Structure 1
Amino acid sequence: MTVQLDTRLEEELSWATRQSKVLDDKVRYLRTGGKVPTQEERLIECLTKEYNNVLTDLCTANGATSRKNDDKLFCVLTELMTENEELTQRIKIKKNEFALICDDIFKINKKVLVVRAKTLTDVQHMERVLRGQQNLRCLEYKLDIANKTYGSVITENNSIRQEIEHLLIERTSFNKLWFGYISNLQQGKLILMDMVEQATLAYNSRDECIIALTSLRNRATSDLRNNIEEMDSMQKQLDEQKLIEEFLAVKNQKRFLIGLEQKKMKKRRLANAEMLVKLLIYKKTLAEIKIFTQLDVEQDYKSFIDRYYAFEKRNMSLFLYINDLHKDIEDLLTMTLAHKINIDAQRELNKQQAKKQANTLKSLKIELASGKAEVRVFASSTTLHDFLGNNISINDYNVLLFYQILEDQVDNLILNVYLKQTKQVKTAKKQQERLIKDNLVPSKIHKVIDVVRISPCPLCVDKVMVKNVIDTVQFVNSKPKAEELLNKQLKLPEGLNTLHNVSACHLPKSRAIIQRRFY
């Protein structure tokens, strides 16, 4: 109770202070020159009265008597609170006991209901029997329906199986046709590629053909003009010749003698007789040709001409071949004669050289014997003999040693010769020809990459890949697999044809790339 009073008093105090502040502000305003209305004065009086009353209440509340009463009330309240707590605990215990009793009652009711459900009456038993009979009938009916449906499904399965077999046969025939069409499509693709190549080549050669056509047109026009001029000149000459012939025909009219006429008649008769003889010969030959060719030459003369032309062509080719052979034989004969003359000359030279070599051999043997004697005097090969052992002859084991000795000696000789050549004093006489030339430099060894452009043309490679297209599922190759396939392609006989730049390629794409570069 005291706490509530304190809070209420604090609220009233705060309200009173707020009102006093408002009133102070108004008083200040009035002191400056304003006027206070009568209502506000009344309010101020009321508020002052209330303020005084509040102060008196506070004083009374804080007095000794009120404190004693408050203490008594506090003691009573504490006792009542303790009693309330005890009673609430008892009520909770009672409630728990009541809840346990209710649970037991609910469980017992459940058990009773279960027992009642288990125990059947006669009526319930009859109802259950009737229900079982009805269920049996329904199940039997369902079983009949299931059997019927099973039979119908089996018949449908048989019909569907026959349809499937028929469709499989159709599918195999369709697959055969399909693969045939695919092969035709591949051939068509190759033909298309060839046609595209031919079209590109024709397009590339179009400019040359146009230039040739223009030149031919100009030439034809010039030829036509020349021909017209020649025709005009020839026509003039013809006209002149006709005039001359007419003049000569009129001028050179002669008398025809009887003797001359008889001579002419004899000549004509002789010519006719010769013609008849030739006619008989030709008829005989025609009959022989008919027997030989089994053709009626007079009617089917075209086939005879074709056959005659073929035989003549063959005969001409054989004749030319024989002429070529005769020429070759004559050339060979001339060659053999020349070779025989050379052989004889070489034999004589060889005989002379053999005599010279025999003489030189004798002199060299004498020099060698003297040289050996000098070498034995000045040097001995005992160390080398000791190194080689008992066997001084060349064999598989000491051949490298002999080779090394010879190589060292040859190197020393070459060095000595070159040193003598370099230190040779220049004289007025003609200088001797050098054995070792100063300008001998080993030729530069070029790399294979500098000689051959080993990077293949990408357009040609794409073309090869397009040619090898198969209408099936294709997978992308990895980089090493692609390199391996490319190496295999390059090992083929036509593989090196792709080793060129794009500018040197003959495909139409290369032309487009070059035009793009320049424009």
Structure 2
Amino acid sequence: LLACHVFLISLLFNEPHSLTTNIHAVTTQSFILQIEKRVFDLRAKQVTDSQFQEKVRAGSKLTDILQNQLDTEIKRFCTALTNNKKLREEIDHLLKERARFNTVWEKLLANINQGKKLMLDLIEQATVAYDQREEWCSKLQALKVRNQNDLMLHTQEMKELQRQLDHDHMLYDFLGVKGQKRILRDLEEKEMRKREMQKEELDRQMMRYQEMLKEIQDLVNEEDVNRLASQYFKQEEENFALFNYVNELNHEIEVINENIDQLRVEIENQKELNEIRARQQKETIDTLNADLEEATQQANTAQERLNNTNQGLTELLNGIEGLFNLVARNNVICITGDDAGISNYNVMLYLGFLERKVGELTANMYLKEKALVSFKNIKIKDYI
């Protein structure tokens, strides 16, 4: 082009009369040069047979690579679907295990509460029974004392009645003997001798009584018989009162001894009963404690299993949430509403959305790969 311009300028200055002819020649020469340049460029860009075969082999290799990548992605997609299915089944199993654990936990709590209630009822019944026993024992003791007193009164009344009855019999016999008619003659003589003997006996008794009275008077230094008799009766009354008091004391001592013996027997019986009751209560408490320890151990084991299950479920939910954040974070509100957190209640929605999203991505990748292969095939055909 520079040469053409130089040539045109020289023509303008040297030969102005042939300007039109020269311009036409210059234009033709420039067009020829452009055509030659395009031919040179086309020859430079022309693809040889070896280059064409190399490009065909490269395109086939790229197609195989893309197909292998597509197969690999499809296999990975199928593996992900299988893992999602397994995870879904595991989540369902864990949810069922959690529901079963909650049922067992509630049942164990109900059993523990029932055992505590039974233990409290047993303690309350034992306390009420002990109080009733004490009350009935006191009533029984009062009845025994009353019965003993009534028996003593009845015994004294019977003795008094028996004494009066004996006195009446003796009086009746005496009056009967005295009222009989004396028919035998020897009886009068016997009666006379008997009277004489009685008189002599009375005289001897009189003398003995007088001697005794004399001794008593000398002993008490009292000559007046009336005073002596009054003192004697007074002393006799005092002695009789003391005798009655001693008898009452002896009776009370006997009653007290009997009560003491009875109380000892009752104390021994109560001790044995308390020991038996204590052993029974101890056995019951030991049984309840063993049941409580077993239930507590089962509850702790179940709680540990629940914690492990919750931990595994939490890790699984976190993994699902991380995968969801990688795939489609902007669609969280569309799925779960304002609450964008994953939980046991909306995990199936997340899994369904992930499954659909992975399917869409796989389909898009497949279509893009297919379009890329088609484009390369078209380009190869254009080169051909």
Superposition TM-score, scaled by structure 1 size: 0.22
| Structure with the larger RCO, 1 or 2 (CA within 8 Å, 6+ apart) | 2
Greater fraction helix: 2
Superposition TM-score, scaled by structure 2 size: 0.29
